[in-house]
Chains A and B, each alone.
Chain A
Amino acid sequence: METQTESVDLVGDEAAANLARAALFAALVGAFAYVSFPNPVSPAPVTLQVLGVFLAGIMLGPVWGGVSLVLYLVAGALGAPVFAGGGAGFGALVGSTAGYLWSYPLAAALIGAVVHRGPALRDLDDVGLPTLVGAMAAGTVLIYALGVVGLYYVIPEFTLAEAFLQGAVVFLPAEGIKVAAAVGIVRSEAVAAA
């Protein structure tokens, strides 16, 4: 029988709070993958996953927002059904969705860095609308750029234009709606009070 003899290494209060928030946010992005809305401009329904990435950057900041999305990817790779359509497993990280998924932690960190202007969190009431929208626009560009490049590598027969057609044209218009929804959420009192 193996016995551990070293002393117990306790987790500090602040680290525990950050860990809890990062893990809960990762689970929330996973739960968002199940919520789909009809897309007003294309037949492909939209899920709220990318909205979760936006909110992770805005609410948790560049460090913990990014960490939260890393947890999301690791949990998904190990079998938590958190990817689009309840998908799970390592395969999603090297298949057709690879580029999008790998971009999520980077996009959350980028959005957090733009909104909070550094690793420390600012009060969201002090963040102007242009900064908020600009941060999410930059995040969207990053997600789709990596997503399309991912497709280009997964199907080498694709030209970049074909990869863009397959991987971005259908979904991109819906991102504007998510940016608007995210602004509404950040500005609503309900979350500010939480």
Chain B
Amino acid sequence: MGELRLPLLMFAFVPGDSLAHRLDPRGKLLVQIAFAAAAYAHTTPRGLAVLSLLAVGCVRAAGGSVREVAWGYRWAAPFLLTAPLIAGATLGAPWFELDRAFRAGLASYRVLLILLVAGAYVRSTPVRDSRAAVQRTVPGKTGQFLGIGVGLVFRFLPLLRRDLVAAREGMRARGGGALPVRDRMRIVATAGLRRAFARADRLALALNARCLAWNPTLPRLCFRRRDLPVVALAAALLVAAVVPFLRA
């Protein structure tokens, strides 16, 4: 049967007034990039211990709990947990190299930390702010295009998911559940595709009729005093990421 897995807890923006909710989205994006760079440059027990504290701080600042955000990324768990086992196992004596498994474990753990920090952003940033951040950062029509496109993806994702649920239920009701996987995929995907194209045509018509402009009014973004520590944190992380390469 074509299963449509609807996560119990969709990982998405949660309205609130935490510290991270009030920050400029561009500063938060910068911190994520700098954090990832630092995590890749310092995959040592000491480096990751410091970054762990920082990651927990980010999640808390976004008004979330580590458990809630980590649960949103549970799809990554099978990979992150098996990576040390696969790296450690050898085809012959000594069968398992603890040292390699440990280092692969550290590499896995840093991915978890990067996901937590990204989760803090997702939890604390509404679509409008993200869209504005893209359009204010990427210049010209490319930025406008990305901004409009991102807004539309957010808008239509739930509708298309519903279309696919309806297609799957229709298929089941007609006894399609007994068909081979290839045919079930084809039936569900065809229905999804047809609805998506129909929606795209109606949307294009509406965009033309409403005179879509490349330069609509966006929510104002401005760096305030409370964004200074965020930018300083990102700068510090970037410096920390670059220092090992300068020493080498």
Contact = CB atoms under 8 A, between A and B. Distances in A.
Interface of A: 2, 4, 6, 8-11, 13, 16-17, 19-28, 30-32, 34-38, 40, 45, 48, 51, 55, 59, 70-72, 74-75, 78-92, 94-97, 154-158, 162, 165-166, 177-178, 180-181, 184-185, 188, 190-191, 194
30 contacts: A9-B215, A11-B212, A27-B153, A28-B196, A30-B160, A37-B185, A55-B189, A71-B150, A74-B146, A75-B153, A78-B125, A79-B127, A80-B154, A81-B7, A86-B11, A87-B11, A88-B72, A88-B118, A89-B122, A90-B33, A90-B118, A95-B115, A155-B104, A156-B107, A157-B101, A158-B83, A158-B86, A177-B181, A181-B185, A191-B190
Contact of B189 (A20, A27, A32, A75): A32
A94 B36 contact: yes
B143 to A, nearest CB: 11
Contact of A35 (B83, B133, B168): B168
Nearest to B213: A8
Given A71-B149, A82-B157, A185-B193, A31 B163 contact: yes
B10 A17 contact: no
A65 to B, nearest CB: 13
Contacts, number: 272
Interface of B: 1-7, 10-13, 29, 32-33, 36, 40, 72-76, 79-80, 82-83, 86-87, 100-101, 103-104, 107-108, 111, 114-119, 121-122, 125, 127, 130-131, 133-134, 145-146, 148-150, 152-154, 156-157, 159-161, 163-164, 168, 181-186, 188-190, 192-194, 196-201, 203-204, 207-208, 211-215, 217, 220
The DSSP consensus for interface residues of chain B is helix
A162 B86 contact: yes
A27 B161 CA distance: 9
Contact of A20 (B40, B121, B204): B204
Given A27-B196, A71-B153, A191-B190, A91 B83 contact: no
